[in-house]
Structure 1
Amino acid sequence: MTENRKIAEEVIDAIGGKENIASLAHCATRLRIVVHDKEKIDKDKVENIDKVKGAFFNSGQYQIIFGTGTVNKIHDELQSIGIGGASVQDVKQAAKKEGSAFQRAIRTFGDVFVPIIPVLVATGLFMGLRGLLTQDQILNLFGLAPADIPANFLLFTEVLTDTAFAFLPALVAWSSFKVFGGSPVLGIVLGLMLVNPALPNAYEVANGSAEAITLFGFIPVVGYQGSVLPAFFIGLIGAKLEKALRRRITEALDLILTPFLTLTIMITLGLFAIGPIFHSLEDLVLAGTLAVLDLPFGIAGLLIGSLNQLVVVTGVHHIFNFLEIQLLENRGMNPFNAIITCGMAAQGAACLAVGLKTKDAKLKALALPSSFSAFLGISEPAIFGVNLRFIKPFIMGLIGGGVGGFLASLFDLAGTGMSVTVIPGTLLYLNSQLPLYILVNLAAMAVAFTLTWMFGYKDSRKL
């Protein structure tokens, strides 16, 4: 019997046997299992299985952290044993009724934004690279000046960096239609209608170079470049409208009438009702976010850096995706990224302190790779696998995150993108901010490591 096969069988036994598994899937690092009866799970037994880096309930799923690569192999072994596989989306659907109404709403919000994040990550990296290549210091190395950069090259970089945000409503509406069970292509078309060049450009209206169209003398109509909430709710309502129409329209006319009515009704509502209402709400949310981030004396960084990883534990951190997108779209920079990166780095450092201090071979083998994972921007193995088990390292990590976030706010650090942090996140700070980015993260790590080493962990408790 192979090692992974043995681990798979131990997992089945620890969670109450095959009959207790409702559905099973995996993501990049975790097995995601929906069970029939939580009481049948032996959590201690699960956490003592080889290669398990932590396990916890979140979003109605029992999630067992194995790490990248390993989780795929364990999942394959479970399927070969006869545990039916499912897609991550299927598992999410099975877990949909779990948690509070707020948690379910945030989970759904996250499901819409997660698929478009890779595009925004790439856009942010393009922005960082453009910032690097157009710096005076870098150009001087090649005997060049900013005026020597070819106009066509700058145009090419603008295509790379501006496209995703110029057509952001199309991405959001597409994903919303997909999540809520509609036809994604209708979402794309509706999103593109929101930014149609025939409409006054939202940015030009904002800076006074264009005027909004006024309907009925009081409803302003503009394009929705960079808006998120209007596209989200158009997708939500549009998908439900499409499904309702398909149930009522005869099959012979469905192909013609359903898309025609869906597009006609939803773009009318979108431009004249949903758009103005939710764009106003969006402006209020953005204003509130900016008010917090603009708090003086580094207070914003202290609060967010201290509390961010605590929010991650609750599973409602997906709401931050919306906030970061808004920051990037309206400010062109993302100060939130610099602050939460310190929180992740600090948790990794606290986990590293445990790994270096312990003499327990199993804990060391768990903590060291988990800390490295946090330094690559995935903090869950460190948090759930090590820090939360001993409590104090997690608290020391929160303190370190607060210190790093405090400094990041004082230095006005802001990334050019989102969703890449710590070591990979350096690519978002190539526009002359890199030394300070490294400094604030090292400060967060040093505080968390030192406090954990001195006060946060005694090598007496065994796993």
Structure 2
Amino acid sequence: MKWKVKNKMGKYEALAKKIVENVGGKENIGDLTHCVTRLRFKLHDESKANDEAIKQMDDVVTLMKSGGQYQVVIGNHVPEVYEDVCALIGTLNPADAPKQKQSFGNMVVDFISAMMGPVLAVLIGSGMIKGILALCAFTGIISMESGLYTLLNATGDAMFYFFPVFLGYTSAKKLKIDPFVGAVIGALLMYPSLQGTDLDILGHTINVSYSSTVMPVVFTTIFASLIYKPLMKIIPDVVKTFMVPMLTIVIAAPLGFVLIGPAMNALSNLLVGGVMAVYSFSPILAGFLMGSLWQVIVVFGLHMGFVAVGIVQLASGQATPIFALATGAGYAQTAVVMAIWMKTKNKKLKDLALPAWISGWFGVTEPAIYGVTLPRIKYFVAACIFAGFAGSFMGMQGMLVHQMAGLGIFGIPGYFNEAMPVSTTLINFAIALAISMIPTFLFTYFTYQDEAETVENTEAARTSLTDTVVAPIRGKVMPLSSIKDEAFSLGTLGKGIVILPEEGKVYSPVDGVVTMVFPSLHAVGITADNGLQILIHVGMDTVQLDGEGFTAHVVKDQKVTKGQSLLDFDIDLITSRGYSVETPVVITNSHDILDVIETNNQQVAVADDLLTAVF
């Protein structure tokens, strides 16, 4: 797999650097893909990765190892983090990919993730267009006879119709052959004039259609890789650039069309038939199993296999029960988090729960399950049970997803079809949500209590296992996340707080030793007697002033006491040059202690309590 190095990285540069560093560096990365919420690494040696450091990163939800992959769960912004990681690591040599043996199951999961992951977001977006258009047609907002409907329908349907082209590309990329070879195979398989046409091939009549299929192009591309790789070794360099793709395509594509494709279409029909047979045997039982186990499958990162089966059904024009039966799973977890958010007195938990339940409504549940419900396992289990009941209801009502739609509440249009009135569909969906959410919410709300030992330990820590860092500057207090420099705002450099100075004087916040005075005099580092490492960074980008406007009163290795003068700086000069004087005060080794508690005051004077370090 190859990536181009970008000239400029995005806003998650600091996070990307920490991730790459803690997975063992670029040289330990053999392959990297992403899905909706996860970076999926294949590492040469997982023992070189620092699991705990990754789990503790502010923008990382958790870490999972499953399917032969090292999965860093990020959340909704994973595409941006992925781009920054790719920009950082540059080009990976396919020959360097890990060669360790995997079980067959892990190989399948790994391949499906790499194949489906890159297209899933666009697939969901296209499905949302189709779902919303279906709603507009059912309600009479847009006539199905109009040119506008035809155009918008084609817009939403294009991804599905040409699906083999996209899967050919991603499959070839995963197989480490030229991805455009896979794309051409996909294009040939669904070439319009060959679809549903009697073709006399060497005395045999072939009549097939591959539009919107999945398995024919995937297995034909696998076959193509068995041709491509040996040819790369034996064809002379002077002609291999064009000879290898030509020979691969001319051999694999026709054989795929005539032999592999029909066999895979039959296998697809058998797979879909098997899913529907289980569903037909007992929709209620199937619904309970799928609904109750879905989040367990997500925890282990194995849900992409089920997603792939559902997509196979939808791509072949058949409705699928898979997504319908799992409908309540995410909402039940969301209900737990909403209840805990309302009930808890723990500020950190409340701050974690708020974005978790909001994202849960939109179908992204990793922040909820990893951050809130799994650590409180009985509520995770309760949510799974009630989600199972919701799945049983969906099965009993015959609810199916008829087209790919969005995640969470954006997935509702996927249920619309001509056989069931929109009103009935919406009522059934609302009942399923009520079954999954109401009892889960009530159970959590009336049984949840903040852990007493946590409160006791916190109070004890405040009195006997804490130390205080006082304010080194007089001014207005701001959260660290409020400033533009992401090395500070993302917590990369440590936990702390920001002061907007009202006078240009910096005093020592602790008793300790000066460990660093920047040559530009805009920042000073101190190691306190208790081991805390504190950085005071006056202004943003003020290093470019090269010391102008700054006066240092201490030098490296000098012993200082709390309240001793460290620096003076000229606020007017700094601001006149276009620089901010917002001053982060961070404990750079905060990962080595239990917690850092910021002051609640909005204004501080020098020597006021600013940060409390909990050991």
Aligned to 1:327, which of 307, 313, 317?
A: 313
Query: What residue identity is the alignment partner of 2:186?
Result: G
Query: What residue identity is the alignment partner of 1:129?
Result: I
Query: What residue identity is the alignment partner of 1:374?
Result: G
Aligned to 1:252, which of 235, 238, 244?
A: 238
Q: Map 1:320-399; keep pairs closer than 5 Å.
A: 320-399=306-385
- Provide the secondary structure at the position in 2 that maps to 1:294: helix
Counterparts of 2:449 and 2:385 in 1: how far apart (Å)? 15
Query: 1:267-304: per-residue Cα shift (whole Å, max 9, x none)?
Result: 23212321122222111111111112334452221111
Q: Map 1:76-91; keep pairs closer than 5 Å.
A: 85-86=88-89
Query: 1:21-43: per-residue Cα shift (whole Å, max 9, x none)?
Result: 94598967567775956498574
Q: Are 1:55 and 1:65, in contact at CA under 8 Å, matched by a contact in 2? A: yes
Query: 1:137-171: per-residue Cα shift (whole Å, max 9, x none)?
Result: 445xxxx9x6xx54423432442243333322222
Q: Are 1:47 and 1:54, in contact at CA under 8 Å, matched by a contact in 2? A: yes
Q: Are 1:308 and 1:343, in contact at CA under 8 Å, matched by a contact in 2? A: yes
More deviation in 435-444 or 93-102?
93-102
Counterparts of 1:247 and 1:297 in 2: how far apart (Å)? 53
2:210 is equivalent to residue 224 of structure 1:
yes
Query: What residue identity is the alignment partner of 1:104?
Result: M
2:181 is equivalent to residue 186 of structure 1:
yes
Query: 1:11-58: per-residue Cα shift (whole Å, max 9, x none)?
Result: 999x69x78994598967567775956498574x87666666444434
Query: 1:312-370: per-residue Cα shift (whole Å, max 9, x none)?
Result: 12222111232122221334534322222311111121222233333222222222322
Deviation at 1:223, TM superposition (A): 2.6
Deviation at 1:61, TM superposition (A): 5.5
Counterparts of 1:225 and 1:355 in 2: how far apart (Å)? 47
2:158 is equivalent to residue 166 of structure 1:
no
Q: 1:205 — aligned with what? A: none
Aligned length: 434
Query: 1:72-98: per-residue Cα shift (whole Å, max 9, x none)?
Result: 69998xx9xxx994379899x867748
Q: Are 2:125 and 2:406, in contact at CA under 8 Å, matched by a contact in 1? A: no
Counterparts of 1:168 and 1:70 in 2: how far apart (Å)? 23
Aligned to 2:397, which of 411, 420, 442?
A: 411
Q: 1:291 — aligned with what? A: 277
Counterparts of 1:117 and 1:132 in 2: how far apart (Å)? 22
Q: Are 2:76 and 2:364, in contact at CA under 8 Å, matched by a contact in 1? A: no
2:314 is equivalent to residue 306 of structure 1:
no
Aligned to 1:196, which of 191, 194, 197?
A: 191
- Provide the secondary structure at the position in 2 that maps to 1:393: helix
Q: Structure 1's 7 and 334: CA in aligned 2 closer, same or farther, altered over 3 A? A: closer
Counterparts of 2:195 and 2:359 in 1: how far apart (Å)? 46
Q: Are 2:124 and 2:407, in contact at CA under 8 Å, matched by a contact in 1? A: no
More deviation in 271-280 or 98-107?
98-107
Q: 2:132 — aligned with what? A: 129
Q: 1:204 — aligned with what? A: none
Q: How does the TM-score come out when normalised to structure 2?
A: 0.61
Q: Structure 1's 195 and 347: CA in aligned 2 closer, same or farther, altered over 3 A? A: same
2:436 is equivalent to residue 444 of structure 1:
yes
Q: 1:110 — aligned with what? A: 113
Q: Are 1:390 and 1:457, in contact at CA under 8 Å, matched by a contact in 2? A: no
Q: 2:223 — aligned with what? A: 237
Query: What residue identity is the alignment partner of 1:124?
Result: G
Deviation at 1:258, TM superposition (A): 1.7
Counterparts of 2:336 and 2:91 in 1: how far apart (Å)? 31
Query: What residue identity is the alignment partner of 1:252?
Result: V
- Provide the secondary structure at the position in 1 that maps to 2:334: helix
Deviation at 1:398, TM superposition (A): 0.6
Query: What residue identity is the alignment partner of 2:120?
Result: I
Counterparts of 2:249 and 2:447 in 1: how far apart (Å)? 61
Structure having the higher helix fraction is 1
Q: Structure 1's 460 and 428: CA in aligned 2 closer, same or farther, altered over 3 A? A: farther
Q: Are 2:44 and 2:98, in contact at CA under 8 Å, matched by a contact in 1? A: no
2:262 is equivalent to residue 276 of structure 1:
yes
Counterparts of 1:286 and 1:309 in 2: how far apart (Å)? 23
Q: Are 2:69 and 2:110, in contact at CA under 8 Å, matched by a contact in 1? A: no
Counterparts of 1:461 and 1:133 in 2: how far apart (Å)? 54
Q: 1:424 — aligned with what? A: 410
Q: Structure 1's 324 and 245: CA in aligned 2 closer, same or farther, altered over 3 A? A: same
Q: Are 1:55 and 1:385, in contact at CA under 8 Å, matched by a contact in 2? A: no
Q: Are 2:330 and 2:363, in contact at CA under 8 Å, matched by a contact in 1? A: yes
- Provide the secondary structure at the position in 2 that maps to 1:57: strand
Counterparts of 1:360 and 1:289 in 2: how far apart (Å)? 45
- Provide the secondary structure at the position in 1 that maps to 2:275: helix
Deviation at 1:216, TM superposition (A): 6.5
Decide which structure has the larger Cα Rg and report it.
2
Q: Structure 1's 406 and 41: CA in aligned 2 closer, same or farther, altered over 3 A? A: same
Query: What residue identity is the alignment partner of 1:379?
Result: T
Query: What residue identity is the alignment partner of 2:184?
Result: V
For structure 2, the 5+ residue unaligned runs are 1-11, 455-593, 595-615
Q: Are 2:66 and 2:302, in contact at CA under 8 Å, matched by a contact in 1? A: no
Percent of pairs with identical residues: 27
